[in-house]
A and B are shown apart, each in its own frame.
Chain A
C-alpha cells in the first residue's frame, strides 16, 4: 500500500457505515412518519393531504424538527464518541490514520447517514405525489419542486447542524457535553443576542435594534427560523452550506490542536474555559435577574439581587462542570473578576455614558422617517413638515422620559401601554432606530402625533398595504361577520368591488387620531380574493388579504347597507341570546367570567348584570370595545349568540361604558 497525503480512508468510511447504518434507517422511518406514511395511510381521505403536505414540506412537523436537530447531533455523537473516552481515544489514534483522515472520513460517513433518509423520503414523496390544493385559492402545494426544495433545505440545514455538532465535539472531552453543546451552539448566537439585549432594553430608554440586524441574528440559526414559522430563503440555504463547509475546516484546526489527553475533560482547550465560565455566569445573571424582577413587581433592588445570585450560582455550576468536583469555592477569584466586569457593563449602560437616550438624528440628513411602521418594502414619510412632526413627537417622548419610565416601572400603573417605534433612514441607507413602550394616553394626547396621523401622507404610508390594493386584480370580496360563523356575503361585480374598496380607503383617510386610538370592536371582515391567486408565488406576494372594519367606518357601512349586503352578515340583537357584564376591579381579579351553559340564562346578581333587552344589546353591539383602555376598573362584556353559535368577549372602560351599565353597578354598590 502506498502512503500519500490522503484526507480520506475508505476502510474507515466503510467500517463506519457498517456500524451505524441502522441510525440512517431509523431516521428514514422517523421522517416517513411525518410525510410519506400519513399520506399513504390517509389516501382514501384526500382532504387531509393538504394539512399533511403543507406542514411536512415546510419543516413544521415534529418529525422534521426531530430529524433536523437530533439526527446530525446523534450521528456526530456516534462517530466521534471515541474522542471522549481515554481508552478509545488511545486505541483509535494509535491506528494508522492521521487526524485529517479520521475527521474527513467520519464527516463523509455522517453526511451519507444524514442525507440517505432525506433522499429516500424525497423519492417516496415524488412517487406518490399528485395535485393537492391548498383550499381556496386553488394552489397545488404537492409539486416536484416543492418536494425538491424540502429535500435541499433539509439537507443543508442538517449539514449545518452536523458541522456545528462536530465543532462542539472538538472542543469538549465529554460525550454528554458534546450533545449539549451540539444542540446549544445551534441557538447560541440568537440566544446570546437576546441575553445582551435584555440589558439594553432594561436600562436604555428607547433602545431598539434595526430589523436588519435582528434578521441577521435570527438567520444564524436555521432552527430558530423554522421554529418561528419563517421560511428559510434560498439565499440563506446557500449561506448555511458555505458556513457548514467552513466550519469543517475550523473543526479540523481544533482537532489538530487538540491534546488527546483531554478526553473526559469538560472543555479541551484552556482558552475556552473562561469564555464558557463567564458566558454561563452571564446567562445565569440575566435569567435570575429578570425572574426576580418579575417576582418583585419590577423592583430594581430585586433585579440586582437576582443578578448577583444568578451569576454566582451559574458561575459555581460552570466551575463544577469544568473541575468535575463540588469543591470549587477556592476558584472564587474568577467570580470576583466577573462581578467587576458585570458591574462596569451595567453601569456603562445604565448611566448612558454614550448619550444613546438623548441622541436624535440630524433631520437635515434624513431621507425618510417611519413611525410605527415596519419599514420592510414600505416607504417612509418624506415630506419635511411631516418628518418634523415625527421628530417633535419623538423629542416629546425623550423630554417626558421620567414620567413615562415611572409609569412603565410602576407596578400600580393601570395604563395600557403600547410600543412606539421610530426609524430614520439616511440618504446613505443607514438607519437610526428607537423603540419605546409608553402609555396609550401619552400617544393619544400627543399633539404632534395627532397632526402626523391625520396627514394624508402618513395615512398613505402607514396603511400602504390597503392603499396599494390592485382593485383590477380583485376577483371577488367575501364579507363576513367578525364573530358569527355564517357564510360570507360575496361581491363579484368589479365596479362594486372598486367602489367598496375606495370607500374603505376614504374611511381610513378621514379617521381621526382619536378614532384610531379607540378600540372599537371590529364588526366585519372583507376578505380579498385576487384574480392572480392561482399563481403560487403571486399569492404570497400580496400584501393584504383581509380588511377589518368597525362601526366607525361610516362610508363603508352606508354603502353595504344601501346595496343590501349589510343585513346578510351583520350581527344584530336578533342573533344575540343574551349579554352579561361584570365590573372588573383590582379586588375581583383575576377574572373569573361567567361562561357556564350558554343556552341557560344566568340570573343578574350584584356582580353580574344580565342583558336581554334588544335596544340595550344593540347599543352594546355598536359601542363595545376590543380591549379596555385601562387595566383596572373596566367592564367585561360576555356576548352569547343564540342556538349555541358561539360567544365572544368585549370590554368598556369607565370613560366609555354606557350609562345604563354604569348605573347598574353604581346602584349595586350603594
Chain B
C-alpha cells in the first residue's frame, strides 16, 4: 500500500506539490495523469525515497520511504529518464541488483530475458530507448517489488511489448498483491489497466477516484423528441455539455446512468441512446466545467 499524506514541496520559492494526498491500495493499479510540469515526477521521486518532503508523509506499507533501506529494497522503479551504471550490460546490472536486493529472483529474470528477447551481454548504452525500458522493466520486476513505480513506462515501447509488460504487471498485482503507481500520458492504455485514477494539476490532486465509479457516474446521451424538448428536462438533469445536431440533442450528463435512462424514458423520446464515456472524454467534460485547463491535461 502506497500512501501519501499532506505532501508539500517547494523548489526554491515555487510550490511544486501542495498538501497532496494519494492512496494506492494493496493489489491495485493507480494511474497518475497530469500535464507536463504538473508535479508527477516530483511526486514519484518522493514515493521512491529520492526527494525529501517539506511537509507531510510518504509511506509504503505504513513505513516512511526516505532513507529507508528496507522499504526501498521492495520498490521497483522505472524512471522516465533511465540511468544505468556506465559501461554496464544487463547481465552486470542484474548481478549487481542480485547483491543489493534481498528478494532478487534469478529465475524470473531469466524467464523475462527470454520473453523480451534481449542480449544481456550487450552494453546497455548500445540499447535503443525501447530496449533500455525493457531492460529496466526486467530488473524492476526481478526484485519482486511490493510497490512498482512507473514513470512513463510504455513510452518508446512497441504495442506487442506493451502488451507483455501490462500482462506481467497485472499478473503480479493479482498474484502477489503488488501495488502499482503508473504515470502516463496515454489515457487509453490507462483506462484499460488502472483501478484508480488521480489527476494532478499544478501540484494539486484535483481528482482521485476509482475508475469504474467514475465511469458509472457520467454518460453521453443522444435524444430526439417529437416536437419541442420538455422544458423541465434541463432542471432534472445535471448536464455538463449540450449540443444540437439537427433534431437530435447530444448531452453529457453527470449522475447515475440507470436513473438517467429511466428518467428520459418517461418522456417517451423518439430516439434515446445512453453511451459510456471514454476516460479522455470523462476528463474533458467532468473537469471542463470546473474551469481547469483540460486541453493542457489531456493534450
Q: Which residues of A contact B (CB under 8 A)?
A: 1, 3, 6, 9, 11-12, 14-15, 19, 85-101, 259-261, 270
In the bound complex, residues from chain A placing their C-beta under 8 Å from that of B51 are: 259-261
Q: B83, A95: Cβ atoms under 8 Å?
A: no
B82: nearest chain-A partner, CB-CB: A87
Q: A87, B79: Cβ atoms under 8 Å?
A: yes
Say which residue of B70, B75, B85, B96 sits within 8 Å of A94 (CB atoms): B75
- In angstroms, how far is the closest chain B Cβ from the Cβ of A402? 54
- Classify chain B: how many residues form its interface, as a range: 20 to 34
A87–B83 Cα distance when bound, in Å, is 6
- Asked, given contacts A1-B102, A11-B96, A87-B82, whether A94 binds B69 with beta carbons under 8 Å apart, the answer is no
A99–B52 Cα distance when bound, in Å, is 12
Q: B72, A95: Cβ atoms under 8 Å?
A: yes
In the bound complex, residues from chain B placing their C-beta under 8 Å from that of A12 are: 100
Say which residue of A6, A11, A86, A94 sits within 8 Å of B49 (CB atoms): A94
In the bound complex, residues from chain A placing their C-beta under 8 Å from that of B86 are: 19
Say which residue of A3, A19, A88, A260 sits within 8 Å of B83 (CB atoms): A88
Q: A90, B81: Cβ atoms under 8 Å?
A: yes
A93–B50 Cα distance when bound, in Å, is 5
Jot down 7 A-B pairs with beta carbons below 8 A, ordered by A: A1-B102, A85-B83, A87-B83, A88-B83, A90-B81, A97-B69, A260-B52
Instruction: Determine whether B283 belongs to the interface, using a CB cutoff of 8 Å to chain A.
Output: no
Q: A90, B100: Cβ atoms under 8 Å?
A: no
A101: nearest chain-B partner, CB-CB: B69
Q: B49, A93: Cβ atoms under 8 Å?
A: yes
A9–B72 Cα distance when bound, in Å, is 15
Q: A96, B69: Cβ atoms under 8 Å?
A: yes
Of the candidates A11, A19, A91, A92, the one having the most CB atoms from chain B within 10 angstroms of its own CB is A91
Interface of B is mostly: loop
- Asked, given contacts A12-B100, A260-B52, whether A90 binds B69 with beta carbons under 8 Å apart, the answer is no
Q: B11, A96: Cβ atoms under 8 Å?
A: no
- In angstroms, how far is the closest chain B Cβ from the Cβ of A101? 7
A88–B88 Cα distance when bound, in Å, is 14
A395–B241 Cα distance when bound, in Å, is 97
A78: nearest chain-B partner, CB-CB: B86
In the bound complex, residues from chain B placing their C-beta under 8 Å from that of A93 are: 48-50
Instruction: Determine whether B91 belongs to the interface, using a CB cutoff of 8 Å to chain A.
Output: no
A119–B14 Cα distance when bound, in Å, is 51
Q: B100, A96: Cβ atoms under 8 Å?
A: yes
Say which residue of A87, A99, A261 sits within 8 Å of B67 (CB atoms): A99
A57–B233 Cα distance when bound, in Å, is 98
In the bound complex, residues from chain A placing their C-beta under 8 Å from that of B85 are: 15, 19
Q: A86, B100: Cβ atoms under 8 Å?
A: no
In the bound complex, residues from chain B placing their C-beta under 8 Å from that of A91 are: 77, 79, 82-84
Instruction: Determine whether B73 belongs to the interface, using a CB cutoff of 8 Å to chain A.
Output: yes
Instruction: Determine whether B101 belongs to the interface, using a CB cutoff of 8 Å to chain A.
Output: yes
Instruction: Determine whether B45 belongs to the interface, using a CB cutoff of 8 Å to chain A.
Output: yes
A305–B224 Cα distance when bound, in Å, is 85
In the bound complex, residues from chain A placing their C-beta under 8 Å from that of B75 are: 94
Of the candidates B75, B77, B100, B102, the one having the most CB atoms from chain A within 10 angstroms of its own CB is B100
Instruction: Determine whether B99 belongs to the interface, using a CB cutoff of 8 Å to chain A.
Output: yes
Of the candidates B42, B50, B75, B81, the one having the most CB atoms from chain A within 10 angstroms of its own CB is B50
A86–B85 Cα distance when bound, in Å, is 14
- Asked, given contacts A1-B102, A11-B100, A91-B79, whether A96 binds B50 with beta carbons under 8 Å apart, the answer is no
Say which residue of B49, B70, B79, B101 sits within 8 Å of A3 (CB atoms): B70
B68: nearest chain-A partner, CB-CB: A98
Q: A90, B70: Cβ atoms under 8 Å?
A: no
Q: B50, A90: Cβ atoms under 8 Å?
A: yes
Q: A15, B96: Cβ atoms under 8 Å?
A: yes
In the bound complex, residues from chain A placing their C-beta under 8 Å from that of B77 are: 91, 94
Query: Considering the complex, which residues of chain B in the window 44-97 have a beta carbon less than 8 Å from any beta carbon of chain A?
Result: 45, 48-52, 67-70, 72-73, 75, 77, 79, 81-87, 96
In the bound complex, residues from chain B placing their C-beta under 8 Å from that of A260 are: 45, 50-52
In the bound complex, residues from chain A placing their C-beta under 8 Å from that of B12 are: 270
A260–B70 Cα distance when bound, in Å, is 20
Sorted from nearest, which 10 A-B pairs have the closest CB atoms? Answer: A96-B73, A1-B102, A11-B99, A87-B81, A91-B83, A94-B48, A87-B83, A96-B72, A3-B70, A93-B50
A89: nearest chain-B partner, CB-CB: B50
A431–B50 Cα distance when bound, in Å, is 54
A11–B51 Cα distance when bound, in Å, is 24
In the bound complex, residues from chain B placing their C-beta under 8 Å from that of A92 are: 83
B50: nearest chain-A partner, CB-CB: A93
In the bound complex, residues from chain A placing their C-beta under 8 Å from that of B11 are: 261
A410–B73 Cα distance when bound, in Å, is 73
A10–B77 Cα distance when bound, in Å, is 23
A455–B228 Cα distance when bound, in Å, is 128
In the bound complex, residues from chain B placing their C-beta under 8 Å from that of A88 are: 83
- In angstroms, how far is the closest chain A Cβ from the Cβ of B84? 8
- Asked, given contacts A1-B102, A9-B100, whether A90 binds B48 with beta carbons under 8 Å apart, the answer is yes
- Asked, given contacts A12-B100, A90-B81, whether A98 binds B67 with beta carbons under 8 Å apart, the answer is yes
- In angstroms, how far is the closest chain A Cβ from the Cβ of B30? 18
In the bound complex, residues from chain B placing their C-beta under 8 Å from that of A259 are: 51-52
In the bound complex, residues from chain B placing their C-beta under 8 Å from that of A19 are: 85-87
A257: nearest chain-B partner, CB-CB: B52
Apart from A15-B85, A95-B72, A96-B73, 4 more pairs, CB < 8 Å:
A90-B79, A90-B81, A91-B82, A96-B72
- In angstroms, how far is the closest chain B Cβ from the Cβ of A479? 67
Chain B 12-37 near chain A by CB (<8 Å), digits 1 or 0: 10000000000000000000000000
In the bound complex, residues from chain B placing their C-beta under 8 Å from that of A97 are: 69, 72, 100
- In angstroms, how far is the closest chain B Cβ from the Cβ of A264? 12
- In angstroms, how far is the closest chain B Cβ from the Cβ of A22? 11
- Asked, given contacts A19-B86, A88-B83, whether A94 binds B72 with beta carbons under 8 Å apart, the answer is yes
In the bound complex, residues from chain A placing their C-beta under 8 Å from that of B69 are: 3, 6, 96-98, 101
A92–B42 Cα distance when bound, in Å, is 16
A154–B73 Cα distance when bound, in Å, is 39
A1: nearest chain-B partner, CB-CB: B102
Chain B 166-193 near chain A by CB (<8 Å), digits 1 or 0: 0000000000000000000000000000
- In angstroms, how far is the closest chain A Cβ from the Cβ of B220? 41
A98–B73 Cα distance when bound, in Å, is 11
- In angstroms, how far is the closest chain A Cβ from the Cβ of B53? 10
- In angstroms, how far is the closest chain A Cβ from the Cβ of B10? 10
In the bound complex, residues from chain B placing their C-beta under 8 Å from that of A98 are: 67-69
A90: nearest chain-B partner, CB-CB: B50
A25–B100 Cα distance when bound, in Å, is 27
B84: nearest chain-A partner, CB-CB: A91
A65–B77 Cα distance when bound, in Å, is 44
A100–B66 Cα distance when bound, in Å, is 12
A81: nearest chain-B partner, CB-CB: B86
B86: nearest chain-A partner, CB-CB: A19
B72: nearest chain-A partner, CB-CB: A96
A14–B85 Cα distance when bound, in Å, is 14
In the bound complex, residues from chain B placing their C-beta under 8 Å from that of A15 are: 85, 96, 99
- In angstroms, how far is the closest chain A Cβ from the Cβ of B129? 13
A468–B102 Cα distance when bound, in Å, is 74
In the bound complex, residues from chain B placing their C-beta under 8 Å from that of A99 are: 67
B67: nearest chain-A partner, CB-CB: A98
A12–B51 Cα distance when bound, in Å, is 21
Of the candidates A3, A6, A100, the one having the most CB atoms from chain B within 10 angstroms of its own CB is A3
B73: nearest chain-A partner, CB-CB: A96
B87: nearest chain-A partner, CB-CB: A19
In the bound complex, residues from chain A placing their C-beta under 8 Å from that of B102 are: 1
- In angstroms, how far is the closest chain B Cβ from the Cβ of A343? 30
In the bound complex, residues from chain A placing their C-beta under 8 Å from that of B48 are: 90, 93-94
A6–B73 Cα distance when bound, in Å, is 15
In the bound complex, residues from chain A placing their C-beta under 8 Å from that of B101 are: 96
A638–B52 Cα distance when bound, in Å, is 75
- In angstroms, how far is the closest chain A Cβ from the Cβ of B186? 22
A93–B65 Cα distance when bound, in Å, is 11
Q: A95, B100: Cβ atoms under 8 Å?
A: yes
Say which residue of B83, B96, B99 sits within 8 Å of A90 (CB atoms): B83
Chain B 131-142 near chain A by CB (<8 Å), digits 1 or 0: 000000000000
B96: nearest chain-A partner, CB-CB: A15
